[in-house]
């Protein structure tokens, strides 16, 4: 099956998924057993348009195994204060070494997510504990977005998001 064309993330979406949102990624085994892991941040490579997600390796054993086997990855990004929720799927997930700036990206994510949840009444120490992981135990999965869905709760949930520029040829 030919790979679907990559989707372009507009600046608003890119800002959203790299901000203080909760991030969970899923994949599945060959037998159809779903896997799941909480991510510790997301980076968008503006050149390749690929997304990179960070995980604590001991927590992500099943996810990494499944995602690297099939390439299939689904990631939800949700802003707790507004429930705005986006799901991005891809078919070419693979492990990537952590690059320069990635540790800073994870640390920035911890601060942003903690700030968001403290606003909702959680303690910062609780959020920091949840996102705690030694630097050396972080792993990264990278993939090209091939489908985007608005999954904010409500009647419109599940609607595919057609990103603006560049439009697919012939799109209405």
Partner 1 sequence: MIPVRALRDCLDGIIPGVVSTCAADGTPNVAYMSQGQYLDDQHLALSYQFFNRTRQNLLANPRVTLGLIHPQTAQQYRLHLVYERTETHGPVFESMKAKLAGIASHTGMSGVFRLLGSDIYRIEGSEGVPGSTLPAPTPAVDPLLALRTCMARLPLSPDAESLLDALLDGLQAHFAIEHALVMMLDPGRGQLYTVASRGYPTSGVGSELPVGDGVIGVAARERVPIRISHVTSEYAYGLAMREGAERQGLGDRLETEIPFPGLAAPGSQLAVPIPGAHDPLGVLFVESPTEMRFTHADEDALVALATQVGGLFRLFLAELELGEEGQPASAREPRPDGVPLRVRHYAANDSVFLGDDYLIKGVAGNILWTLLQDHQALGRTQFSNRELRADPRVRLPDQSDNLEARLVLLHRRLAERRACVQLEKTGRGRFRLLVARPLELEDMDPGT
Residues in contact with partner 1 by CB under 8 A are 24-28, 30, 32-38, 56, 58-59, 70, 72-76, 78, 83, 85, 87, 89, 122, 125-127, 129-130, 132-133, 149, 151, 153-154, 157-158
- Residue 148, H or E segment: strand 145-150
The C-alpha torsion from 74 through 93 and 114 to 119, rounded to 10°, is -30
Rounded least distance, CB 83 to partner 1, Å: 7
Q: Which is nearer to partner 1, 124 or 167 (CB)?
A: 124
Beta strands in 13-144 (DSSP E): 22-28, 34-38, 42-44, 51-56, 73-78, 85-90, 94-96, 138-143
Q: Which is nearer to partner 1, 104 or 159 (CB)?
A: 159
CB-based burial of residue 19 (10 Å sphere; 0-12 exposed, 13-18 middle, 19+ buried)? Answer: middle
| Cβ 25 vs Cβ 42: under 8 Å | no
* CA distance linking residue 2 with residue 130, whole number of Å: 39
């Amino acid at each position: 099956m030919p790979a679907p064309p990559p989707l372009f993330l507009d600046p608003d979406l890119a800002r959203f998924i790299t901000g203080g949102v909760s991030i969970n990624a899923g994949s599945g085994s060959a037998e159809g057993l779903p896997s799941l892991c909480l991510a510790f941040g997301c980076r968008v490579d503006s050149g390749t348009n690929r997304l990179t997600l960070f995980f604590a390796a001991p927590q992500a054993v099943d996810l990494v195994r499944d995602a690297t086997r099939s390439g299939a990855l689904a990631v939800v990004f949700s802003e707790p204060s507004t429930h705005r929720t986006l799901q991005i799927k891809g078919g070419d997930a693979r492990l990537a070494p952590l690059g320069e700036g990635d540790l800073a990206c994870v640390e920035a994510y911890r601060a942003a997510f903690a700030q968001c949840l403290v606003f909702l009444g959680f303690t910062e120490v609780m959020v920091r504990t949840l996102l705690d992981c030694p630097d050396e135990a972080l792993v990264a999965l990278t993939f090209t977005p091939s489908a985007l869905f608005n999954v904010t709760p409500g009647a419109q949930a599940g609607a595919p998001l057609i990103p603006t520029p560049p439009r697919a040829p012939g799109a209405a």
